[in-house]
Amino acid sequence: MSLLEEILTGRTDSHTEVFSGGHRVHQKVVQPLTKLKNAAAKAGFDLAICSGFRSFDRQLMIWNEKVSGKRPVPDSQGRGVNVSEQPPQVLIDLILRWSALPGASRHHWGTDFDVIDQSRLQPGQNFQLIPQEFEKGALFGDLHEWLDTNMDIFGFFRPYESDRGGVSPERWHLSYAPLASDYLSKHTLGQLTKALNTSSMLLKKEVLLQLPEIWKRFVINTDPPRI
């Protein structure tokens, strides 16, 4: 397996380094992300990553915990569902609306991360990364209003800006366009199939049977950069 394939499917973190707050990002993203964070600070925001690089194994754990009911599975409105009542096909679709397959997450690349305004949180305050927290006037709404007009300057965009029938809109998810676009163009269905074939993923048989359609709907079906 080449280093590029390892990066694309989350099998290495050698391309990443620790950023502010302890989360890992791609080495080539550190500089533009630092500039974005500094510009946000001047505007009165404490832009912080709450989820950065995730490995294949971490994504696999998230997937399996959702399939088994150990981790909540929301519907498109963010409301939890009872996984034991869902047929496999329905459950797979529900999970994919909010969580990528292991081997297909953009978080593997270190180019993508979820961001919040840390200054809006009180000590010990929890948040859920749900759309309501990012609406205008909501907990993190002001930061993301600012990002709407400023993130392009630093090379960032939202790959899940709109609902394209695949991944649910994730206003909190930013991507570094120059590198992420290149990685997406090099990420293949064959690489993903190989990664999943050797994994201990729950519902693997069902997923592999429909993987080409999942690939089209949930992996490459993203909003393009505006820059």
Taking the domains of the chain in order of start, what are their residue ranges? 3-219
- State residue 132's pLDDT score: 92
User: pTM for the full model?
Assistant: 0.96
The per-residue pLDDT for 76 is 73
pLDDT of residue 125: 93
Cite the DSSP H helix spans in the chain. 3-8, 30-42, 56-67, 88-96, 141-150, 177-186, 189-197, 204-209, 211-214
pLDDT at 227: 66
* Residue ranges for the chain with pLDDT beneath 50: none
200 vs 63, 66, 144, 156, 187, CA distance in Å? 11, 14, 37, 34, 21
pLDDT at 176: 98
Rounded to an integer, what distance in angstroms lies between the CA atom of residue 135 and that of residue 133? 6
| 203 phi-psi bin (left φ>0, alpha ψ -120 to 50, beta other) | left
Identify the architecture of domain 3-219 in CATH.
Answer: 2-Layer Sandwich (3.30)
